[in-house]
Amino acid sequence: MLVKLQDLYFKPFISEEQIQDAVQQMVDAVANDLKDEMPIFVGILNGSFMFVSDFVKKYPHPCEVTFIKLASYEGVKSTEDIQRLIGLTQDLTDRTVVVLEDIIDSGNTLEEVHRIFKNENVKQLIIATLFYKPEAYKKDFKLHYVGLEIPNKFIVGYGLDYNGLGRDLPAVYQLKTTQHMINIVLFGPPGAGKGTQANFLKDKYDLVHISTGDVFRYNIKNETALGTLAKSYMDKGELVPDKVTIDMLKAEVEKNADAKGFIFDGFPRTNAQAKALDTLMNSKDSQINAMVALEVDDEVLVERLLERGKTSGRSDDADENIIRNRIKEYYDKTAILKDYYSAQDKYFGVDGVGSIEAITERLSAVLDKL
């Protein structure tokens, strides 16, 4: 799940479990090396509060804990300017000091830490950091214990913040640099008004509308191989096979690499298609945000489609039996998708009977909340 902090999105990066494992390993190593000492652990605030807390809880021997407060981050870039806000308050002469840092990137904070301890006559100064960004590190102070090496990406959570936010998260998240998309699946039986509504919504929210039915019809009109294949199924009101439909859908999405999001209309229609869509969105660092379903009574649908058939030129709209078969096919095969998205709390049913404007309003109310 993505986390939004002010204007930025962050994606899961290091799980709670991975963090706790890394902390435990550091504790084991430090405890083993310092078992004959009474170390004093010094946390660097604010970022290290969670790490220090978990570390000392796991630490198996008596120890002391204190904090100093420095500030080095402003926004997402490490600044050169480190401020000492709360310094040391106790005598550290001849003590073994273990500095517990949440993260070391440029090493500027660490330089300040060394400056602080230079005149304290400590027995030894040991540096232990939970996270370490080797690509960003510009100093040569020794790092005695490192929990996890990470790439040079901005992270939040587990004490680390973005503009003060995100410190409370028990796991670590990474800044998501690709554009944030809103993707919705517009759902509903044939004749529910998906196409009409999609046209309004795509303009209003600047989204790309992909109707698999329209793409198939375009291919039929242009007599492509895909069109010929699809026609044999469409003429009977049956679904085009998953493999064909999924490949086509992927190609349509790839054509719109800069999209701010998609309205999928007529897709997915099967569980396999829904899973393929999740995988596809995942590969774009994104997800389906909602399935918005237009709910309309069967008899109203048949009436609307027969009416549309008089002018649309769609052969599958002309015959009541084919229409009823498409509606049946929809409920037989596709209503399971309601369960698929409901299980993820992403299903939103919208009353699809009323004026076009009224229905657009109802749909917008859902989209505005995403």
With CB under 6 A as the contact rule, the residue among 5, 103, 184, 234 that binds ligand AMP is 234
367 binds ligand AMP (CB under 6 A): no
Q: Which residues contact 211 (CB under 8 A, 6 or more apart)?
A: 194, 195, 198, 265, 266
347 binds ligand AMP (CB under 6 A): no
Say whether 294 sits in a helix, a strand or coil.
strand
Q: Which residues contact 138 (CB under 8 A, 6 or more apart)?
A: 106, 107
Residues 197-216 contacting ligand AMP, CB under 6 A: 212-213, 216
Quick note: the x/- pattern for ligand AMP over 286-325, rule CB under 6 A, is ----------------------------------------
Q: Give the residue ranges of DSSP H helices in 206-343.
A: 212-221, 225-234, 242-254, 271-282, 298-312, 320-329, 335-342
326 binds ligand AMP (CB under 6 A): yes
> In this complex, which beta carbon is closest to ligand AMP, that of residue 162 or of residue 187?
187
> Rounded to the nearest whole angstrom, what is the least distance from the CB of residue 192 to ligand AMP in the complex?
10
> In this complex, which beta carbon is closest to ligand AMP, that of residue 12 or of residue 227?
227
Q: Which span (77-85, 89-97, 255-263, 265-273) binds ligand AMP, by CB under 6 A?
A: 265-273
273 binds ligand AMP (CB under 6 A): yes
CB-based burial, 127-136: b 16+ in 10 Å, e otherwise: bbbbbbbeeb
Query: Which residue type sits at 278?
Result: D
> Rounded to the nearest whole angstrom, what is the least distance from the CB of residue 203 to ligand AMP in the complex?
20
> Rounded to the nearest whole angstrom, what is the least distance from the CB of residue 240 to ligand AMP in the complex?
4
Angle (CA) 338-344-366 rounded to 5° is 75
Angle (CA) 299-301-304 rounded to 5° is 110
190 binds ligand AMP (CB under 6 A): yes
Burial-class residue 279 by CB neighbours within 10 Å (0-12, 13-18, 19+): exposed
Residues 236-255 contacting ligand AMP, CB under 6 A: 237-240, 245
Assess contact for 184 and 291: CB atoms under 8 A.
Answer: yes
For tokens 């000091």, what's the residue? 97
> How many residues at the interface with ligand AMP, by CB under 6 A?
16
Assess contact for 184 and 263: CB atoms under 8 A.
Answer: yes
> Rounded to the nearest whole angstrom, what is the least distance from the CB of residue 83 to ligand AMP in the complex?
58
> In this complex, which beta carbon is closest to ligand AMP, that of residue 150 or of residue 323?
323
107 binds ligand AMP (CB under 6 A): no
CA distance 235 to 232: 6
166 binds ligand AMP (CB under 6 A): no
> Rounded to the nearest whole angstrom, what is the least distance from the CB of residue 189 to ligand AMP in the complex?
9
Closest residue to ligand AMP, judged by C-beta, is 213
Assess contact for 326 and 237: CB atoms under 8 A.
Answer: yes
> Rounded to the nearest whole angstrom, what is the least distance from the CB of residue 233 to ligand AMP in the complex?
5
> In this complex, which beta carbon is closest to ligand AMP, that of residue 73 or of residue 216?
216
> Rounded to the nearest whole angstrom, what is the least distance from the CB of residue 213 to ligand AMP in the complex?
2
> Rounded to the nearest whole angstrom, what is the least distance from the CB of residue 267 to ligand AMP in the complex?
4
Q: Helix-strand-coil percent breakdown of the chain, rounded to 5?
A: 40, 25, 35
Angle (CA) 274-227-321 rounded to 5° is 75
Q: Which residues contact 230 (CB under 8 A, 6 or more apart)?
A: 216, 219, 220, 240, 244
Residues that bind ligand AMP (CB under 6 A): 190, 212-213, 216, 233-234, 237-240, 245, 266-267, 269, 273, 326
